[in-house]
């Protein structure tokens, strides 16, 4: 399970260091390859291959005849790319994904249970401020 919030920067080759705490969780599962793709709210999703397969199966269960299901599937799968963590703990972010997430240099990396999200610093700050105001209402509706 991934959790936490971390601030990092992209290098000149669009490589991003995966935070040590998250890498520790990754090593526990003996994962070498990942899927990075367009997420929601203009962030990127990073899945282990096993989590991607579980997610993929949920998407496969959606009705092909549903317009929204097709749109969501296209969004996720058209942006998907396989990546690995190099010996320095970095992943390369393809340019089209960097552009999608509006990432320039500074990023926020968050662990969200079964996935890692990569945000531009600016987008994360804006999202957090907007969501913070309503998180109590959201929690009540979810009845956690």
122-133 pLDDT, tens digit per residue, is: 999 999 988 877
Look-up of token digits 């936490």: 4
Q: What is the pLDDT of residue 29?
A: 56
| Tens digit of each residue's pLDDT (9 = 90 or more) over 8-45 | 999 999 999 998 888 776 655 555 788 999 999 999 99
114: CATH: 3.40.1550.20
Question: Which tokens in the block code for residue 135?
Answer: 């998180």
Give dist(CA 70, CA 78) in Å, integer: 11
pTM of the model: 0.90
Yes or no: say if 36 and 100 are a contact pair by the CB < 8 Å rule.
no
Strand partners, 82: 35
* Residues spanned by the domain of 58: 2-142
Contact 19/95 with Cβ under 8 angstroms?
no
> What distance in Å separates the CA atoms of residue 120 and residue 104, rounded to the nearest whole number?
7
**Residue length, the chain?**
144
Q: How many domains does the chain have?
A: 1
């Amino acid at each position: 399970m991934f959790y936490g919030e971390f601030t990092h920067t992209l290098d000149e080759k669009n490589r991003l260091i995966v935070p040590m705490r998250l890498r520790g969780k990754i090593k526990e599962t003996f994962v070498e390859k990942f899927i990075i793709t367009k997420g929601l709210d203009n962030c990127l999703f990073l899945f282990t291959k096993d989590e991607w397969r579980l997610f993929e199966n949920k998407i496969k269960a959606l009705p092909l005849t549903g317009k929204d299901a097709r749109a969501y599937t296209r969004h996720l799968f058209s942006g998907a790319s396989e990546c690995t963590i190099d010996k320095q703990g970095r992943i390369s972010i393809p340019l089209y994904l960097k552009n999608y997430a509006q990432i320039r240099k500074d990023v926020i990396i968050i662990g969200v249970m079964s996935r890692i999200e990569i945000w531009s610093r600016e987008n994360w700050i804006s999202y957090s401020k907007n969501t913070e105001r309503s998180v109590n209402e959201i929690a009540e509706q979810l009845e956690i």
